[in-house]
Amino acid sequence: YAPGMCYPAVADPEVVVELERELREKGFNVHRGIVASSDAFHAEEANLGAWSSVGAVAVEMECATIFTVARIREVKAGAALLVIDNLATGEFFEAGAEERKRLELKAAKGALNALVSIRF
């Protein structure tokens, strides 16, 4: 995404603060931290120990790309990730598709409210 260099994939601090505020107001437990991005679905299990040892609290597939392109293009970006599986403990989201959809919509509304508060 940044040819010829290693570019840090970092969320915009203002976006992070506003996302956290809105999602807490909606009743979500919010955790900030380093997120590892991987392009291989479920291949992250093999790298879990290494990522965890450097402080990664989650694994997902898009944030590094979004944050890097946003920084290069001078656009603010952040992410709110809904945890559905815990690879460290082997726990999986068992509440069902309807509950997951409800939580996704609730989080999306919080994220949209956060965007309104941010000066772009």
Please give the positions annotated as active site. Answer: 85
Residues in a beta bridge with 34? 56
CB of 85 within 8 A of CB of 43?
no
Q: Distance between CA atoms of 112 and 78, rounded to whole angstroms?
A: 12
CB of 63 within 8 A of CB of 35?
yes
Q: What is the token pair recorded at 29?
A: 């437990």
Q: Distance between CA atoms of 42 and 69, rounded to whole angstroms?
A: 24
Q: For 27, which DSSP code? A: T
